[in-house]
Amino acid sequence: MKSYDIIVVGSGLAGLYCALLASRYGNVLVLTKAQLEDCNTYHAQGGIAAALGPSDSTELHVADTLAAGAGLGDPAAIRILVETGRRAVRDLIELGVPFDRENGEVVFTTEGAHSRARILHAGGDATGKNVEISLARVVRENPRISIREHCEARTLLVRNGRVVGVRAFDRATGDAGEFEGAAVVMATGGIGQLFSQTTNPDVATGDGIALAFRAGADVADLEFVQFHPTALAVPGAPRFLISEAVRGVGGILRNGAGERFVLRYDPRGELAPRDVVARAIFFEAQRRGEPCAYLDVTEMGVDFFRRRFPTIAHACARYGIDVAREPIPVAPAAHYLMGGIRTNTWGETTLPGLYAVGECACTGVHGANRLASNSLLEAVAFAARIAQRQFERVDDHCGRQGIDHVPEDDLKDDLCIEVGAGRAGSAPPLAKATLRDLTWTLAGLTRNREGLEKLESISAAWQFSMDEGEGGRDEECRNLVLLARLLATAALRREESRGAHYRTDFPQPVPAWQRRIVLHASDGMRKENR
């Protein structure tokens, strides 16, 4: 079995930045299930938030992030996000990420619910691509980092209650292999593929969260899925993202009659938080019996639009939309998971030896809703914290087993729920498409008890049948089934509406629910799910 100081699973921004910093203190293996650049990060458009501008401050960025989180954001973690993140963004600039500049200075733009212009972007609306390519280049050149592409992590190896490595499947050769690591960092991204309507690429199947949960790590806030208001809504086309930044510089949402409607739902209009705008589009389309809303970019000037958003303009043209003459059809789609593997502010999970970072982690910074462009920031901020922790471990000569696992940032008053193994029950034949349609319909933008109970019981039955038949199973599908069940369990229990979680049977926030839901696998579930 090959042995490393640190194994990083995933090669988006969180994984690559963590690998890069950690390589200063040890040898690193990066496992990734497709090509290095296949990840959510590559698709990020709007940019990365950092309180670096002249009129900005830590306090303002913290306040905006807390407000977006609808009472569930963790203030201590948010302060670390803003302060450590700002340093990490400076580091990205030094590493050569080509952020857009004017007169030699990096420019900042604004996005919904940010009180200052603090979003750095690159290539106009190709921020993620530029960030990912820049980091991939540096990581590839680093002799202390080994990379295994097309290598899918399938199980965490646990010995005496500690994660000691990863069992993985090489998609290119069909071989299984085991890799030993003193620390294993999950950086596997989000769960967008759980929904039939999503902006996320194929790799976003929540593997890391499912693996960690089965191994015994706590997961939290899984009911909070952000639905982006404006994904391209052309029948048959992928749900390509039309960035928030388009509304930030004057894009206007209209209904089928050409009326600007969002102000009727919220006085902040197009720049209200994402969940508010997404529901406004959903309810307006429902009220008028229309399939989508329409984003009008003519007021900002079509030439400006094409210059500032070349990727979006190109995608519109590809699907036959001439933005000079017609608005862009848009509808909400699953975009981002606020929850994930529960960590403290050092990226440590509740399972010793296991760390989590980026979208698969739940550091508590997003609470019930994420502020736009804070996720790339979270990826670098907490990757830096994990690397720093590795440095401290090496530096104090205690040996890696000698450092206690420190859950110092635990929130109080969490509601902890134990989830048991799958249950036999009636369910339609399992197919990924059926699962994704069901999750979109029953646990999407709006939810209620009946729908969530149905999803929970169907996914528990599918889980039962999949865990029974070990051979030849589709691991991504198995992970999605588990995530559907966990999401339904948490969303069912949260009898209120808060942030991105909206229950039609409990449409208001309830003060008593200002607490997080933490899920933990029962002993039976852990035994059966190895």
Ligand X SMILES: Cc1cc2nc3c(=O)[nH]c(=O)nc-3n(C[C@H](O)[C@H](O)[C@H](O)COP(=O)(O)OP(=O)(O)OC[C@H]3O[C@@H](n4cnc5c(N)ncnc54)[C@H](O)[C@@H]3O)c2cc1C
* Residues of this chain that bind ligand X (CB under 6 A): 9-15, 31-34, 38-41, 43-48, 127-128, 152-153, 187-190, 199-200, 203-204, 207-208, 241, 336, 358-359, 373-376, 379
| Cβ atoms of residues 206 and 40 within 8 Å | no
Distances (CA, A) of 147 to 34, 202, 277: 11, 20, 41
Provide the minimum distance between the beta carbon of 448 and ligand X in the complex, in angstroms, as a whole number.
27
Contacts of residue 456, defined as CB under 8 A and 6 or more positions apart, other chains included, come to 485, 488, 489, 492
Side chain identity at residue 139, one-letter code: V
Q: Which helix (H) or strand (E) holds 16?
A: helix 13-22
Provide the minimum distance between the beta carbon of 164 and ligand X in the complex, in angstroms, as a whole number.
17
Contacts of residue 452, defined as CB under 8 A and 6 or more positions apart, other chains included, come to 442, 443, 488, 491, 492
Provide the minimum distance between the beta carbon of 80 and ligand X in the complex, in angstroms, as a whole number.
16
Whichever of 369 and 497 has its CB closer to ligand X, that residue is 369
Whichever of 44 and 430 has its CB closer to ligand X, that residue is 44
Tell me whether residue 274 is one of the annotated catalytic residues: yes
| Cβ atoms within 10 Å, residue 205 | 27
Whichever of 190 and 451 has its CB closer to ligand X, that residue is 190
Whichever of 366 and 389 has its CB closer to ligand X, that residue is 366
| Distance of alpha carbon 337 from alpha carbon 219, whole angstroms | 12
Q: Among candidates 411, 514, 423, 509, which has minimal Cα distance to 462?
A: 423
Provide the minimum distance between the beta carbon of 198 and ligand X in the complex, in angstroms, as a whole number.
8
**Nearest residue to ligand X on Cβ basis:** 12
Whichever of 361 and 435 has its CB closer to ligand X, that residue is 361
Active-site annotation holder among 274, 385, 393, 494: 274
| Distance of alpha carbon 418 from alpha carbon 194, whole angstroms | 22
Provide the minimum distance between the beta carbon of 321 and ligand X in the complex, in angstroms, as a whole number.
18
| Cβ atoms of residues 284 and 298 within 8 Å | no
Provide the minimum distance between the beta carbon of 38 and ligand X in the complex, in angstroms, as a whole number.
5
Provide the minimum distance between the beta carbon of 325 and ligand X in the complex, in angstroms, as a whole number.
26
Whichever of 44 and 443 has its CB closer to ligand X, that residue is 44
Q: Among candidates 408, 402, 388, 417, which has minimal Cα distance to 353?
A: 402
Whichever of 153 and 252 has its CB closer to ligand X, that residue is 153
Q: Among candidates 312, 324, 129, which has minimal Cα distance to 231?
A: 312
Go through the chain and tell me how many residues it has.
Answer: 530
Side chain identity at residue 236, one-letter code: G
Query: What are 12's two structure tokens?
Result: 């988006």
Whichever of 119 and 285 has its CB closer to ligand X, that residue is 119
| Cβ atoms within 10 Å, residue 346 | 20
Residues facing 225 on adjacent strands: 337
| Distance of alpha carbon 213 from alpha carbon 521, whole angstroms | 6
Provide the minimum distance between the beta carbon of 454 and ligand X in the complex, in angstroms, as a whole number.
28
Q: Among candidates 414, 370, 369, which has minimal Cα distance to 513?
A: 414
| Distance of alpha carbon 204 from alpha carbon 191, whole angstroms | 5
Q: How many CA atoms lie within 13 A of 494 on its CB side?
A: 37
The strand order across the sheet containing 415-419 reads 361-362, 340-342, 219-220, 517-521, 415-419
Active site (catalytic) residues: 274
